[in-house]
Amino acid sequence: MDNMTPDTLPVTAVPPVPLTVEGASVLHQMVRLRRPAWRALEAATRAAIVAEAAAALGQWERFADGRQTAVYSLLGHKGDLLFAHFRRSFEELNRAELDLARLRLSDYLEPTTSYLSVVELGLYESTSKVYAGLTEKGIQPHSEEWDKAIEETLARQRTAMAPRLWPEIPPARYICFYPMDRRRGEQANWYRESMAERQRMMNEHGMIGRRYAGTVKQIITGSIGFDDWEWGVDLFAEDPLVFKRLIYEMRFDEVSAVYALFGTFYVGLRVPAAGLAGVLEA
């Protein structure tokens, strides 16, 4: 790493990075219930603790101004509960985390893992168009004019895509969450592919997703600079088999087969506030 601030070598090439617009700040918290301690409590104490938690969750689960928290009962040992917090900023996420920590229920929860990201929409197509347009007009990358045009494009997209940037959590019965990277291997390196090649592969990838639009909803979040993988993917469906079918089919498309690296998979069932007592039944 170097701190030099060279005064030479003006970079005028068209940037290789696709534009993105961002929306909700998202924190996934996976926790385990310390069941022996929980069961050791008197039934009345447990009931009071559940009532407090259900009341708080009842407020958080309502979607308002892009803010919402959904709870899921996870399958397997990776955690008992998953809290998916969507907020307006990281500061609000921090507050959500602290609010949860202050519930009496939290004395019986221990964190297993978490994931921090923001809703992100990649704009490969718009990027290519706007870059091409600016280049045609002879506008230099990173010039004032260039930056202004880019900012205008982003502003337009943020407005047009607001409902997808600040989404309500789909009310589906099942969630599937996993983080992923684009490979930077010694031979296969996503970040060395041309914009056109990347756009082509993302197009092909998107075609598959479209065929599943009726049965699975997805929210893509970006986490470069925030967490240990580049993206987090949330899938929502009434039938969990579609998670397998969709991801298996995609595994054969070029961008996934060659460039996708996957982290840990979490699968859970939605638990509304009213159902919290059920999953916490001792």
- Kindly tell me which of 139 and 208 has the beta carbon lying closer to a second copy: 208
List of residues 6+ apart from 78 with CB closer than 8 A: 30, 112, 113, 264, 266
* Alpha carbon distance 101, 225 (integer Å): 25
- Kindly tell me which of 10 and 62 has the beta carbon lying closer to a second copy: 10
Q: Which residue has the tokens 């803010």?
A: 67
| Shortest Å distance, C-beta 56 to a second copy | 15
Under a CB-based contact definition with an 8 Å cutoff, are residues 163 and 261 in contact?
no
| Shortest Å distance, C-beta 142 to a second copy | 6
3-state secondary structure 23-66: EEEEEEEEEEECHHHHHHCCHHHHHHHHHHHHHHHHHHCCCECC
Q: Is 101 helix (H, G, I), strand (E, B) or coil?
A: helix
Identified catalytic residue from 124, 178, 212, 259: 178
- Which has the closest alpha carbon to 203: 135, 168, 255? 255
The backbone torsions φ and ψ at residue 104, rounded to the nearest 5 degrees and listed phi first, read: -60, -30
* Alpha carbon distance 173, 75 (integer Å): 13
- N residues, the chain: 282
* Alpha carbon distance 152, 224 (integer Å): 24
| Shortest Å distance, C-beta 140 to a second copy | 13
- Is 266 annotated in the active site? no
| Shortest Å distance, C-beta 63 to a second copy | 20
> What's the token pair of residue 262?
């996957």
- Which has the closest alpha carbon to 29: 113, 106, 96, 109? 113
* Alpha carbon distance 278, 275 (integer Å): 5
| Shortest Å distance, C-beta 58 to a second copy | 22
- Kindly tell me which of 138 and 248 has the beta carbon lying closer to a second copy: 248
Q: Is 22 helix (H, G, I), strand (E, B) or coil?
A: strand
- Which helix or strand (DSSP H or E) is residue 74 part of? strand 68-74
- Kindly tell me which of 62 and 257 has the beta carbon lying closer to a second copy: 257
| Shortest Å distance, C-beta 104 to a second copy | 8
- Kindly tell me which of 139 and 249 has the beta carbon lying closer to a second copy: 249
- Kindly tell me which of 41 and 62 has the beta carbon lying closer to a second copy: 41
* Residues recognised as catalytic: 178
